[in-house]
A and B are shown apart, each in its own frame.
Chain A
């Protein structure tokens, strides 16, 4: 029998800097996941693992230690019963949210009742792009579909929208300031589960990437990251051949106004009302609408707008029904474009900062944002939020969630 999809809990690791000197570099991605499975069970002892149908994990670079369906191995290692399945999926940057949405859809179908959905990415150990790619490694495909790297797309969006360096740096600063304030105010405390080693010693207890000392003058000094490849590798030319009314691309993005490379994992426990009642779980939220949409592959990062409209439509809601917005800060221009497209109040968007300050562990981010915004709905005693991410290849995923305290 069909059911609503409830969120029973949401946890995440702190995000570690995605470099050799990052705190999580010595921790395997599977360990990040098993740590979160353990935490979920400790936080809700009544959550009977026998009832978990599946573990769905977004992993964007599923090679080596992140390959071969890490989800199944992690479930076994964490001591979940043999009957709990495990699957890895990849919708690039939105994989973590895609996992949540797929889990929610399966719950709503009535065929399954309890799924752990989330994602993991150990970017310091498994570099982005090391799994190759059907799009950009195949000349026939790249030529036919006007491939350019994301950074060029972000700069192209900024050029088309007229966002200058001041605008994008301005949002970067907001992200840092909000993240610093949120961390100091304990906004992430409910979801963040410290990563500990086998001896119980802390490996990382709080997000490692934010730079609260960031200043506008400091940002202004950073050199654009994509001017070089744009010019030398021909990507600007490809973009301009399609967006032919532009004469040049203004390269405004750099390391300080783009998402940070980090390690991390997240899990969301999603289930039906019946499993919740059986086990005595209290729902924290409900997934009321979800959608994916494609968008122009060369612009690549404009998918959140159509995905959001589609998700709102699925939920039967309007923009004015939404209290908080979480859009992944892949690049500052993505956020500014989304705010402009939907005519949003910037004070309601990424209220606790975003990936520019906190980092973007590719496969995990979408699930992290679900937890972050659910916590904030609770803190502010608000009702609904939209979570969305732009996606490589030109897509967007969006999810509308609603805070609940009891079954509807």
Chain B
């Protein structure tokens, strides 16, 4: 796991190389190897001039051992306390070894990897394409518990440590990491990495950590320093504001660990850090998040839903329609190196697709009104208006020039794929590729399988999705597929609450504090109430569950009586000024009633969560969802289902009493909460 190689110059190169994994993690092999390594270093101290910590993998060190960590229960607390104590003890032995220790960071150093690097006296990072440094723990509901919180705070000071590194989970490139204080040197080649490490050792015989030097003072002061004490009360409040009231245990624990640790000696700070990590590890939310962001993500991106057929890779992508979606799709494809042609009704209209972006990427995009320019395209993605006739027309128009057997994809967000497939002559090659807006930022791709869609078509759409760095979920056809349908329930329930007399501000707060990134009324304004009415009518005629009955009447009233259709028309549930969202429309205040005000806040939150979870369960039983992982990842990445839940289906599983609570909500608020 860790090879020990002492050169003639007395410099020991420790090379981490887990024999059973493609990346190094903080598993038992690491723990045992590190202890043994330190034993040997200490035994041979007189012959050692310095130490270089390196990796034989393409990454430096990937972080914690998530499969093991995700199994921790409260009964494991004592064992975890011991294990974390050992990990910390050995890293402490390393940094107090009495010889210069340099981390030679050849690739990604995340979480535990960065923590090992921080226990070295000097960090040199190779500017390789994949080199990223950061603490992703917070995004998994955890905190850096191998000294990461404690050392980062002591190195940078409380505020920078928290805001740049610990609370964000950001992964920084080497130069940015150097600017942010955790990397000392950035080098261009692997050779330089080792040469500079040796050089630094030669020049720094008396290396020691800043906190082990006499007269050390924490940058920016400790909480006992009046200047910092004055600012300290704003730290938790700012966190509450940033998280919009969602009480995530990990960021709160990181903040508390950092502040409490800053008031005591290093060893005690380590213990505080360990205690808080154990609380997170053995709790529910870290398991939810690791389940989604590690296991489900790995399954989805690894192709769990992709049929195992060999298919040719895409070479030339035709995008029909140069609106915001078409342009975004074209840009994403071009950025991945694909040749892209965007067609619209006129050259001017088509040119909208290259209005902005990196010139090198835009150079791969041709815009045209001429069908002939699409000749030979092996993928066509349609992004025109949501009108079946129009879609059939544009596919028919381009069909003659496409490569034989070209993949025919529609970016529709709501129209059933099976129906649209009737408009083309090769329904087996027809598929839904539902991108999310804005395409450049939204990582999800919802691949929709029509009744006649072939496995090869699914595989081609999936491979294209991966190639353009999207996370592709695969779902079966149905009204609103998976994502649009489920988010519709959320918005519908929220509008229904307002119609019931719940104050609109409470509805928005309930969603935000439950962990949704955007309030449902703000979201309704984005979608437009016009579209919601249209979809509602379509659902009704298709016999799909419509959710909260009262919502529809309010949508009608907002549209017909108050002419408030949403953001694009300048007024909706919110007011808008120069395109910026202002306060809620004051007319909503008249709708609030004493009865509505009396609805418990927890009920508001759970009604929103349950409305989506129950529909997701229906999606599963109706066969719209093919795997739970797709449902979980799709809900988080596509429609903002709260990340702490680990996804909409995991929310059901992790709820202490989903069935009982559903029955309670049904009794109080309506049959739509009945669990089928």
Contact of A233 with B510 in the complex, beta carbons under 8 Å: no
B33 contacts the other chain (Cβ, under 8 Å)?
no
The answer for the CA separation of A378 and B506 in the assembled complex, in Å, is 51
| Shortest Cβ gap from B167 to chain A (Å) | 11
Query: Once the chains bind, are B237 and A235 in contact (CB under 8 Å)?
Result: yes
Interface 9-mer from B81-89, B134-142, B252-260: B252-260
Q: Which residues of A contact B236 (CB under 8 A)?
A: 139, 142-143, 147
Q: Which of A233-278 contact B (CB under 8 A)?
A: 233-235, 237-238, 240-241, 244-248
Cα distance, A241 to B241, chains bound together (Å): 9
Closest residue of chain A to B276, judged by CB?
A: A140
What chain B residues lie within 8 Å of A235 (beta carbons)?
234, 237
Q: Assuming the A-B contacts A245-B505, A248-B583, are A234 and B513 also in contact, with contact meaning beta carbons closer than 8 angstroms in the complex?
A: no
Query: Given that A137-B229, A229-B234 are contacting pairs, would A241 and B240 also be in contact in the complex, using a CB cutoff of 8 Å?
Result: yes
B509-544 interface mask toward A, CB cutoff 8 Å, 1 = contact, 0 = none? 110010000000000000000000000000000000
Give chain B's interface secondary structure class: helix
A223 to B241, CA, bound (A): 24
Task: Report yes or no: A136 in contact with B233, Cβ–Cβ below 8 A.
Answer: yes
Q: Is the CB of B583 within 8 A of A233?
A: no
- CA A237 – CA B513 in complex, angstroms? 11
Within 8 A of A (CB), among B244-277: 244-245, 247, 252, 255-256, 259-260
Expressed in whole angstroms, the Cα–Cα distance for A10 and B629 within the complex equals 74
Q: Are B601 and A234 in contact (CB under 8 A)?
A: no
Cβ contact within 8 Å between B237 and A142: yes
In chain A between 201 and 239, which residues have their CB closer than 8 angstroms to a CB of chain B? 229, 232-235, 237-238
**Contact across chains for A143 and B239 when beta carbons are under 8 A apart:** yes
Task: Give the contact-size bracket for chain B.
Answer: 35 or more
Q: Chain B: which residue is nearest A231 at the CB level?
A: B241
**In the complex, what's the smallest C-beta–C-beta distance from B475 to chain A, in angstroms?**
35
CA distance A149 to B224 in the complex (A): 19
B238 within 8 A of A: yes
Q: Is B235 an interface residue (CB 8 A)?
A: yes
Complex formed: what's the CA distance from A237 to B505 in Å? 13
Assess whether B223 is interfacial by the CB under 8 Å rule: yes
Docked CA distance A136–B237 (Å)? 10
Complex CA–CA separation, A244 to B240 (angstroms): 14
Q: With an 8 A cutoff between CB atoms, is A148 at the interface?
A: yes
A237/B245 contact (C-beta < 8 A), A137-B223, A247-B583 known:
yes
Please, which residue of chain A has its CB at the minimum distance from the CB of B237? A234
A contact face: mostly helix, strand, loop, or mixed: loop
B506, A237: Cβ atoms closer than 8 Å? no
Known A137-B232, A149-B233: A234·B238 in contact at CB below 8 Å:
yes
Give the nearest-CB partner of A229 in chain B: B234
- State in angstroms the CA–CA spacing of A136 and B233 once bound together: 5
- Min CB distance A12 to B, Å, is 30
Q: Name which of B229, B233, B240, B506 has the most chain A CB atoms within 10 A of its CB.
A: B233
Interfacial residues of chain B within 188-241, with CB under 8 A of chain A in the complex: 223-224, 226, 229-230, 232-241
| A147–B233 CB distance below 8 A | yes
Complex CA gap A237/B255 in Å reads: 18
Q: A138 is contacted by which of B226, B247, B259 (Cβ under 8 Å)?
A: B259
Could you say which of B232, B241, B259 contacts A238, with CB atoms under 8 Å apart? B241
B597 touches A237 (CB 8 A): no
Bound form: Cα–Cα A229–B237 in Å: 10
Q: Is A67 an interface residue (CB 8 A)?
A: no
> How far, in angstroms, from A130 to B225 measured CA to CA in the complex?
10
* Complex contact A233–B229 (CB within 8 A): no
B147 interfacial contact with A, CB 8 Å: no
A248 to B583, CA, bound (A): 9
Docked-complex contact A140 and B252, CB < 8 angstroms: yes
Partner-A contacts on B (CB < 8 A): 223-224, 226, 229-230, 232-242, 244-245, 247, 252, 255-256, 259-260, 503, 505-506, 509-510, 513, 583-584, 592, 597, 601
Q: Which residues of A contact B (CB under 8 A)?
A: 129-130, 132, 136-140, 142-143, 147-149, 229, 232-235, 237-238, 240-241, 244-248
Q: List 7 A-B contacts (CB under 8 A).
A: A139-B256, A147-B233, A147-B236, A241-B244, A241-B513, A244-B505, A244-B509
